[in-house]
Structure 1
Amino acid sequence: MQTGRVEGFTRVLGKSQGYLGLPLRDEVIECAVSGAGTPCMVAAWHPTPDELAALNRGAAVHVRIHGTAHPPIMLGVGPEPDQV
């Protein structure tokens, strides 16, 4: 997967630590568990052509989290890009 620039990003994580940098958009959501005003971060990822082909053949998306504690996450599909 390749990182993308999520629309309206508010900051970039990891660049000062030597990573490529991950553009994030900070949001506040309504969460069934944590309630109203729950902070979250949104990042955009784009599959390479080979990864997209594998996904279309039924491969799963794997999420790798650094560390030993898994924070709550949500995974979804963003809007389709405008056709030019």
Structure 2
Amino acid sequence: MNKIQHPSNNGVLGAPAGWDQGELPCGALPITRTHVGDLPAVVSYWCPSAEELAVLNAGGSIALWVLGMSMPPVNLSVESA
């Protein structure tokens, strides 16, 4: 998946403090800070490559990876262009 700039983006996340870029590179991520009801939320937008679309169309799945031993509440959705 390729992170993309979205018209709603109003911020950028960088690597966490103390991140070892040599062990695992972590680049800047354009984000939109927003709310879901009264809850603060952060949205990033991604676009699958042609190869990834072919895998998805053949029945493949999307994997969400979160580093650590737990996972915060997350959501995956499809947005119109």
Same fold (TM over 0.5): yes
Give the residue type in structure 1 aligned to 2:35. Answer: V
Q: How many residues align?
A: 74
Alignment partner of 1:66 is 2:67:
yes
1:21-60 per-position Cα deviation (integer Å, ceiling 9, x unaligned)? 1111011112xxxxxx100111101111100110011100
Structure 2 equivalent of residue 76 of structure 1: 77
Residue 56 (1) aligns with residue 71 (2): no
Rounded Cα–Cα distance in structure 2 between residues aligned with 1:4 and 1:26: 15
Higher relative contact order (CA 8 A, sep 6+): 2
Tell me, in whole angstroms, the C-alpha distance in 1 between the residues paired with 2:15 and 2:67: 16
Gaps of 5+ in 1: 31-36
Q: Which runs of 4+ in 1 moved over 4 A?
A: 15-18
User: Aligned residues: percent identity?
Assistant: 28
The structure carrying a bigger strand percent of its residues is 1
Alpha-carbon deviation of 1:15?
Answer: 5.4
- Structure 2: segments with no counterpart, 5+ residues: none
Query: 1:43: which partner in 2?
Result: 44
TM-score between both structures, scaled by the size of structure 1? 0.78
How big is the alpha-carbon RMSD for the aligned residues of Structure 1 and Structure 2? 1.6
Q: How far apart, CA to CA, are the structure 2 residues paired with 1:55 and 1:40? A: 27
TM-score of the pair, normalised by structure 2: 0.80
Structure 2 distance, partners of 1:56, 1:6, is 24
